[in-house]
Chains A and B, each alone.
Chain A
């Protein structure tokens, strides 16, 4: 359990640093609230934080599921069809040169202030890493495995389903791990642009009212949820998608 110990030690170190900055600079608490005050705020506002966290996590999870599913299907489609590859790949690469942050206002305009503009934002932000890591893994399938399958009389569809996809699942898993970290970023950006619920919305609200402690509280809750999500996705990947070579 050295991972756990190292994590706890790193957290303690950060808290110590944080407190040291406050003691040495005497910075006002509305600029940088002390850790103890933030902890107090997390506890006192737990109902409020939970209410908004549930919304954000719902956006993240739905975005993650949809983005992963869409990425899974697109990667297979791109590998199966050279025409699709020729047409879609340049678009995919181009889409990466558009800062996703710039899309948030447009998505809010099109999809409204509710859940869907945030889900879409999370989906867009994770779609590329999932698709591209799964696509690369599918393209790297051992040629000899494919040759063997052809000699055995397999159709391209069966080669895809019985050889390429299972062989590439570890690549899909590494895309998912990235996605678990990126998805909350998408949801929060969406909430900043326009929302009436969620941790991103709460942070803006707290900021506007100079409630820096609440802002930090929301930030820390978000960070903890993201770490937990990543750990859960990681565990799930280890159990189902990874394989010892």
Chain B
């Protein structure tokens, strides 16, 4: 996937304009973080990229990202399937043969190999989100859409998940929608703030991700982002 992913245009839901004259470009093989106030249309952008345009009127052009993988704030694990079967969900939904050894590898990568036969209800919130990450990795897509995937986790688990996810999704084109300036400063290689009048590009640190929590450039970027997000638009 070397072609540029670009979305230009406007969108409305049930006649209510959500955003207009947006011009969003995703740099291949890197992390783009999208921040902004609630209701500004971040999730709509994500849904359009995911092909879940049901109910959204979109006017403009969108370079089709092809197959994508998605991870949301809720882990969206099927409560009746074991951890292993949840990781294999994509295959069973497409009627493909279940590649159990590969699923086991993915579970090992997220440190849950011993929990393969458990039901999601037996896991903690952080563990469940790691299963969701394993399921996302199992899909093995060039483009990965992340919709506030860590926002429901406690601070410590969140930091661990950010590091694990950055490590395991290295080399893929990632769009991360987040509310957390710290998260954007740690993971963003491009950082954009979505406002009703368009996108604001914030200078992202240039060090490799995941960045250290107390690195000077992370703290500076985080403070910058706070300022921008507070600024009335």
Which A residues contact B (CB, under 8 angstroms)?
142, 144-145, 147-154, 158-159, 162-163, 166-167, 169, 243-245
Complex CA distance for A74 and B210, rounded to whole angstroms: 52
Q: How far is the CB of B25 from chain A (nearest CB, A)?
A: 21
Q: Which residues of B contact A166 (CB under 8 A)?
A: 78, 80
Beyond A150-B51, A153-B67, A245-B121, is A145–B76 a contact (Cβ under 8 Å)? Answer: yes
Range, interface on chain B:
20 to 34
Q: Which residue of B lies closest to A153 (CB)?
A: B94
4 nearest A-B residue pairs (beta carbon): A154-B93, A152-B90, A151-B70, A152-B93
Alpha-carbon distance between A159 and B52 when the two chains are bound, in angstroms: 15
29 A-B pairs whose Cβ atoms sit less than 8 Å apart in the complex: A142-B76, A144-B76, A145-B76, A145-B78, A147-B50, A147-B70, A148-B70, A148-B72, A148-B76, A149-B89, A151-B50, A151-B51, A151-B68, A151-B70, A152-B89, A152-B90, A152-B93, A153-B90, A154-B93, A158-B93, A158-B95, A166-B78, A166-B80, A167-B80, A169-B80, A243-B80, A244-B121, A245-B79, A245-B121
Q: Is the CB of B51 within 8 A of A162?
A: no
Closest to A166 in B: B80
Q: Does B57 contact A (CB under 8 A)?
A: no
**CB within 8 Å: A-B pair count:** 55
How many Å lie between the Cα of A243 and that of B76 in the bound state? 16
Pairwise interchain contact B69-A151, C-beta atoms closer than 8 A: yes
Closest Cβ neighbor of A157 among chain B residues: B95
Give the Cβ gap from A157 to chain B, nearest Cβ, in Å.
10
Question: Restricting to B37-53, which residues have a CB under 8 Å from any CB of A?
Answer: 47, 50-52
Query: Is residue B139 contacting chain A, with contact meaning CB distance below 8 A?
Result: yes
> A169 contacts which chain B residues (CB < 8 A)?
80
Q: A149-B89, A151-B68 are in contact. List 13 more A-B contacts (CB 8 A).
A: A145-B78, A147-B47, A147-B52, A148-B76, A151-B51, A151-B69, A152-B90, A153-B67, A153-B94, A159-B93, A162-B93, A163-B78, A245-B79
Q: State the majority secondary structure of interface residues on B.
A: mixed
Given A144-B74, A148-B70, A153 contacting B80 (CB threshold 8 A): no
Is B92 on the interface with A (CB-CB < 8 A)? yes
What per-residue 1/0 map shows which CB atoms of B62-91 lie under 8 Å from chain A?
000001111010101011100000000110
Contact residues in A for B67 (Cβ distance below 8 Å):
153
Partner of B92, one of A144, A162, A244, A245: A162
Asked if B78 contacts A243 (CB within 8 A), the reply is no
CA distance A212 to B30 in the complex (A): 85
B121–A144 CB distance below 8 A: no
**CB of B162, distance to nearest CB on chain A (Å):** 21
For B179-190 the 0/1 string (1 means CB < 8 A from A) is 000000000000
Which chain B residues border A151 with CB–CB below 8 Å?
50-52, 68-70
Smallest Cβ-Cβ distance to B132: which chain A residue: A148
Looking at the assembled complex, report how far the CB atom of B51 sits from the nearest CB atom of chain A, in whole angstroms.
7
- A243–B77 alpha-carbon span in the complex (Å): 14
Q: Which of B51, B94, B139 contacts A154 (CB 8 A)?
A: B94
- CB pair A158 B94 closer than 8 Å: yes
